[in-house]
Homo-oligomer: A and B are copies of this chain.
Amino acid sequence: MQKKLDRFKQLIIEITDLGRAEALLGWDQQVYMPRGGAEDRGNVLETVAGLSHKMFTSKEMGDLLTELLPYADTLEPDSDDACLIKRSAHNYEKSTKVPTEWVAEYARITTLSQVAWEEAKTEDKFEIFRPHLERVIDLRKAYADFFKPYDHIYDPLLDDFEPGMKTSEVQSIFDALRPKQVELLKEIAAKPVIDDSFLHIPYDEQGQWDFGVDVITRFGYDWNRGRQDKAMHPFTTSFGIDDVRITTRFDPERAASALFSTMHEAGHAMYEQGVAKSLRRYPLADGASMAVHESRSRMWENMVGRSKPFWQFFYPMLVKQFPQQLANISQEQFYRGINKVEPSLIRVEADEATYNLHIMLRLELEIALLEGSLQVGDLPQVWNQKMGEYLGVVPPSDREGVLQDVHWSGGMMGYFPTYALGNLVSAQLWEKIRQDIPNLDGQISRGKFDELLAWLRTNIHQHGAKFKPQDLVKRVTGSTIQADSYMRYLRGKYSEIYNL
């Protein structure tokens, strides 16, 4: 059996390494590739992804997993080997159930669909995108059907991002959350509007860059095993646990955007930088799921980065960096400004109190589209109606409504809920951390994050993708994903800010 295990690991290592080459090809494409290189790059990416898929879905891999899966049950369940075998078997089953023809068709359709979406968004004409989205939905329905029987057609899609999680779980979590979020928002809306105009004046780019770098260096982002570059969209990517990179972008008139985005990406990156060295060459050197990953970034961005103790330490430094902009703004004014709640049309610009509502709306629509209870042609109207219902604002155009996100054009259904789940997990972990580190606020107000990071390394980071998200969250907090912690967090924070 040792021989089979060695051979299995050898194959997994090769596939993981190909994935890392692919990640670098993708990073470079978004960061440094000259425009003309697109065709060559597309070809190379297709080849590398194809080879890696072929290796993973090979008969040899299937035979090895068939023999190794019962063996894994004889191992210590938390051992690296047991986790690696089980997760690989799960992924193998998913990969092999999907026919190659579907994969090719999906790649073709989503490529066209993304072009159509861009045009539709630019022209503000949903009709351009409609027929493409219909085809994407059909393909996604067919995808789900490869995994029949399922409890819900959305389950196989969700599982791609949250291994083991069921649609019914997400729905019951969100059902508990929605009315409370809507209620909180109504209470806030009744209060005077916060003035954050000082955030919407020019801040020079180098100053933004330097301040952000200083912050995440103090967080514990390891520059010897990472770097930051500029890109159109901020993201984190890794080419191994010792090379985890982030990107950022700057808008001179929205300084807060780059700063919080830098903290956000550093949160993702510190997660992967903290994976145990024993997992170095395996796919387990990753986050447990999208939601757990998002909880890592959201925690640093919001619980830490938008907190009072944080700015107690950093605000004097920020004022020193930007005296013209902030000399007359008090720390309290600044704190209130970066925490201003304002129902808005665009998800990526939403504040902590409204963000999840954008997500819940999307999840409901995705599910209705897949169930067939909603037709693509009716989507813009239902979108606008739900926006009014949940957020109290109605998009004046589809560009600012149903066409705003790239996800559906690329077939990424099942992804959206992970953003909101990430918020919930971040609050659950935060409650536990505050119990375990009683003087956390004091540490943060002195710019000290080492105990916090050490806690995260021990409880979350080191495990990489060994455990399923629900298992990991339960193991650490005693409960699976739930909405109460997040609502307690929001209530506590905004009661003080808005005097609710």
Give A residues with C-beta under 8 Å from B: 13-14, 17-18, 20-22, 24-25, 28, 32-41, 43-44, 47-48, 50-51, 222-227, 229, 239-243, 245, 280-281
Contact = CB atoms under 8 A, between A and B. Distances in A.
A284 B281 CA distance: 34
Nearest to A238: B40
B25 A43 contact: no
A243 B224 CA distance: 28
Given A13-B47, A41-B243, A44-B239, 15 more contacts: A14-B47, A17-B47, A18-B48, A20-B44, A24-B25, A28-B28, A32-B32, A34-B223, A36-B225, A37-B242, A40-B239, A40-B241, A40-B243, A43-B240, A51-B51
Identical subunits present: 2
Nearest to A241: B40
B21 A225 contact: no
A18 B224 CA distance: 28
Q: Report, nearest first, the 10 A-B pairs whose CB atoms are least far apart.
A: A40-B240, A37-B243, A36-B225, A17-B47, A36-B242, A36-B224, A21-B21, A17-B44, A20-B44, A14-B47
Contact of A239 (B37, B227, B241): B37
Nearest to A48: B21
What does DSSP make chain A's interface, helix, strand, loop or mixed?
helix
B32 A44 contact: no
A360 B25 CA distance: 40
Contact of A40 (B28, B36, B242, B245): B242
A18 B45 CA distance: 9
Contacts of A20: 40, 44
Nearest to A46: B17
A41 B224 contact: no
A39 B223 contact: no
25 contacts: A14-B47, A14-B50, A17-B43, A17-B44, A18-B51, A20-B44, A21-B21, A21-B24, A21-B48, A24-B24, A24-B25, A32-B227, A32-B229, A33-B243, A34-B223, A34-B225, A34-B226, A34-B243, A36-B225, A37-B240, A37-B242, A40-B240, A40-B243, A44-B240, A51-B51
A25 B243 CA distance: 12
Nearest to A52: B51
A18 B34 CA distance: 20
B36 A222 contact: yes
Most buried by B among A18, A47, A226, A280: A47
A254 B40 CA distance: 37
Contacts of A13: 43, 47
A24 B28 contact: yes
A32 B33 CA distance: 13
A372 to B, nearest CB: 40
A370 to B, nearest CB: 35
Contacts of A28: 24, 28
